[in-house]
Amino acid sequence: MNVFERMNFTLAEAEILEEALARFLSASVGVPSQIEPRVLLGRISSAIADALLGCDDCRANVEKIGEYYFLENPIWERASGGCDILCIGCFEKRLGRALTKPDFIPAHQVEEHRQSDRWKRRIGLVAT
């Protein structure tokens, strides 16, 4: 799933954006005309995803590394320092200990998307 799908862009909206990008590229001076709008759109999508889903400490894209997780509010508030997104490693550094299964919101312990081995160990899906 790309960032535009996560942001609920419809196929029609994505096509309009692609068409606008193609017009922009054809009118731009110094931009190589051989750049495919779809390729550039993919790169822009990836950059936006990295910006939106980057760990506030190390900048790793938490979705790409399999660490898009939810913690119980008291534990998040204790160590997040007002950050929106932290990978598990950076959060644990701030917390001063490893996360454990009760720290995670139960409904989000088994996610549809990829989970890192570190996350699986924390919620008990694999042995430590």
Do both 103 and 121 map to the same domain? yes
One domain for residues 47 and 63:
no
H-run or E-run covering 106: none
Q: Kindly give the confidence (pLDDT) of every residue in the chain, 128 residues in length, as a single tens digit, with 9 standing for 90 and above.
A: 455 565 677 777 777 777 766 666 666 555 566 667 677 777 777 777 777 788 989 989 898 899 988 899 999 999 988 888 999 999 999 999 999 999 998 766 555 667 899 988 998 887 66
Q: Are residues 62 and 122 in the same domain?
A: yes
Examine the domain organization and report whether 90 and 124 are in the same domain. yes
Domain that holds residue 106: 54-128
Beta bridge partners of 71: 104
The model carries a pTM of 0.65
Tally of domains in the chain: 2
